Amino acid sequence: MTKKEKLIARFLSMPSDFHYNEVVKLLGYFNFKEVKKGKTSGSRVKFVNDEGVLIMLHKPHPSGIMKKYQLKQIKEVLDL
């Protein structure tokens, strides 16, 4: 099982400790890039893929652990 497959399997299990950095890596596997709005874009983060599909999240802080509803929204967009 590759790292990509392991990360996708972990994501699909909807763990309560899925970290923001793992989301960035996961979305990268699906050709999503983080859109930087400037120096002070705050905690709101956008990811866009080549087809223009948009995922907007609030970057969790201070822990970096994603909320369950955010994981569900990402899963819907990725159609997994």
Tens-place pLDDT, residues 22-60: 999 999 999 999 987 766 567 888 999 999 999 999 888
3-78: what CATH class? Answer: alpha beta
Place of tokens 């990360």: 7
CA distance 62 to 9: 26
Tens-place pLDDT, residues 2-20: 999 999 999 999 999 999 9
Please give the model's pTM, rounded to 2 decimal places: 0.87
